[in-house]
Amino acid sequence: MKKTIVLTILFLSFFSCENELNILSDWKSIPVVFGIFNEKDSINYLKVNKVFLGQGDVMTFASNFDSIHYNPESISVMVHEKTWEFDNNTFTQGWITQNTHFLEPVFNINKPEGFFHSPNQILYALNSELNSSVKYSIEIIDNENDTILAYSDPIDIIMPSILIQPNSFSALNIINNSFNSKAEWITSPGSNLFELKVIFKYVEFSIFNESDTIHKELEWKFPFFQSSNLNGNENMSYIIDPSQFYSFLISNIDVDPNLRRYVYGTQAVNSGTGSVVISHSCMTFELLSAGVDLSTLILSNQNSNSFVLEKIEYSNIQNGLGIFSSRNYDIVENVKINNVTNDSISLNSITKPLNFGYFRLNDQGEILISYN
């Protein structure tokens, strides 16, 4: 791992009137590169900026387009596909370039407002599909001097780690004093860090106008999970705690006696044993996987329990700063909760003030909704 300190302006003070230091002399351009490739994306992007230096207000420099962007005509941005092979010319093993892609500058993707210049920015697009059977490296060339500005060692393009639980068939049971449902997945080779997200969907309406419904959704994020190795095929899981689920709902939905709600996707299906069962397809599970360099970047920027608050600035860009890595994801949509779980959302003491409805079947097999 390379420890770097990113400096935009260096302030030096010397208590001497005889010597002067010009900190702007012999300035060397330092690239700052960011790219997280995903084999599911039809287009992948690299962002190439530069460290700037100047006398005056640093915020003024940051808001200047030319201070942070290279002229696209002055640099070449390349992505190499590489394999580890025996070289008959040198009689040694090493990385062999199988293919090289020259990335085209893109100007029509606006950057959100912030400290740095916006909305205009320059990104470099790779329009070719990624091949997970080879490794990828980047190289940035200064066209004027025909020299390498920055490059990276080859990285893996990771495949998605697969969610095996939950699925879109079996309904989750998320209630206290019961068997707890869980999310379970199998890691893919090269994946090191995982983030689990759950989208919870519901419908809201006013008691004064029940026909005016609003569809809403919440994103529930779990802590990061780290695998024990990079070989893949590791079984990982996380118990979905009912109390955490109820606390998440009450913390993210406003309590308003003039509003009523019900979970999305209510349906009644034959259980196969002659009875009709109510369930609710109100959840989407998403598992994000990070390659090893992206994992290191994320973990190095996590809050520390130590009183020492210094953070390591991680970079895997040679002759420059930044990160080049890969990510992937797996999604399971239309995940159901059973009607017992829905009853608990409606009736338990934590989420009862949110006025979620509970459902029953009448003698004709129709679904009826009731509120407290």
Tell me: pLDDT of 8 over 70.
Answer: no
Q: What is the average pLDDT across 35-46?
A: 96
The chain-wide mean pLDDT, for the chain, equals 84
- The predicted pLDDT at position 301 comes to 79
Residue with tokens 């360099």: 293
Residues of the chain with pLDDT > 90, as a percent, come to 66
Q: What is the average pLDDT across 155-176?
A: 94
Rounded Cα–Cα distance for residues 222 and 253 (Å): 18
- The predicted pLDDT at position 272 comes to 64
- The predicted pLDDT at position 312 comes to 58
Tell me: pLDDT of 58 over 80.
Answer: no
- The predicted pLDDT at position 345 comes to 97
- The predicted pLDDT at position 311 comes to 54
**What pTM value is reported for the model?**
0.82
Strand-pair category, 321-338 with 31-37: parallel
- The predicted pLDDT at position 117 comes to 45
Q: How confident is the model at residue 69 (pLDDT cuts 50, 70, 90)?
A: confident
Tell me: pLDDT of 355 over 80.
Answer: yes
Q: What is the average pLDDT across 40-65?
A: 69
Q: What is the average pLDDT across 57-61?
A: 46
- The predicted pLDDT at position 52 comes to 57
Residues 305-324: tens digit of each pLDDT: 544 445 557 899 999 999 99
Residues of the chain with pLDDT > 70, as a percent, come to 80
Residues 215-249: tens digit of each pLDDT: 999 999 999 999 999 999 999 999 999 999 999 99
Tell me: pLDDT of 17 over 50.
Answer: no
Q: How confident is the model at residue 5 (pLDDT cuts 50, 70, 90)?
A: very low
Higher pLDDT, 357 or 50: 357
Tell me: pLDDT of 115 over 50.
Answer: no
